Amino acid sequence: MRQQKAGETKAGNTRADGERGAAAVEMALVLPILVLLVFGIVEFSITYNRVQGLHAAAREGARVASLPDATQAEIAGRVTSALQGVPLNGPPQIEVIPASTQPCLDRTGETVVVRVRATTELDIPLWGSQSLTLTGRGEFRCE
């Protein structure tokens, strides 16, 4: 029976001494980029979901604001309740245009706009954490 020489595999192929550990080095070079890419995709999709939540809340607020007897407090309450499942850093800033107490009073056919701004954290491993300001917008015609 033939004895195996140093650097020789069981199949009988010899490997150059310089190739030992090449896979480990390649993995060490590629792994940080892969981790950055995967977690970046996950974090950006979470942030995109939060933006969609802000847009939906702004549309809800604009729908309420389009009623002639709706007040700023009712609009803010609807926006806040629509944001219940959206994790944000602090309370949102709600802006209604026009900024009167009852935005659609005597304005039938004109538009009312609700903007919702909030901050959130984008935290990607190996990249760092950044605070982002997200904005949602809703527009309806006054009834």
Q: Residue 109 falls within a domain, yes or no? A: yes
Residue 5 belongs to a domain: no
Residues 6+ positions from 113 with CB-CB distance below 8 Å: 62, 96, 97, 137, 138, 139
- Kindly state whether residue 124 falls inside one of the protein's structural domains: yes
Report if residue 45 sits inside a domain: yes
Predicted confidence (pLDDT) at residue 138 exceeds the cutoff of 60: yes
Q: Is residue 10 situated within a structural domain?
A: no
Asked whether the predicted pLDDT for residue 7 surpasses 60, the reply is no
pLDDT tops 80 at residue 19: no
Count of domains observed in the chain: 1
- Residue whose pair of structure tokens reads 């650097």 in the numeric block: 7
For residue 111, the domain's CATH number is 3.30.1300
50: amino acid identity, one letter: R
**Sequence-distant (≥ 6) Cβ neighbours of residue 123 within 8 angstroms:** 43, 129, 130
Residue 38: per-residue pLDDT? 93
Is there a domain that residue 49 lies in? Answer: yes
Which amino acid type is present at position 93?
Q
Which value, to the nearest 10 degrees, does the dihedral of the CA atoms of residues 64, 65, 69, 73 take?
Answer: 90
Q: Which domain holds residue 90?
A: 22-141
**Cβ pair 79, 57 in contact under 8 A:** yes
pLDDT in tens, 37-86: 999 999 999 999 999 999 999 999 999 999 999 999 999 999 999 999 89
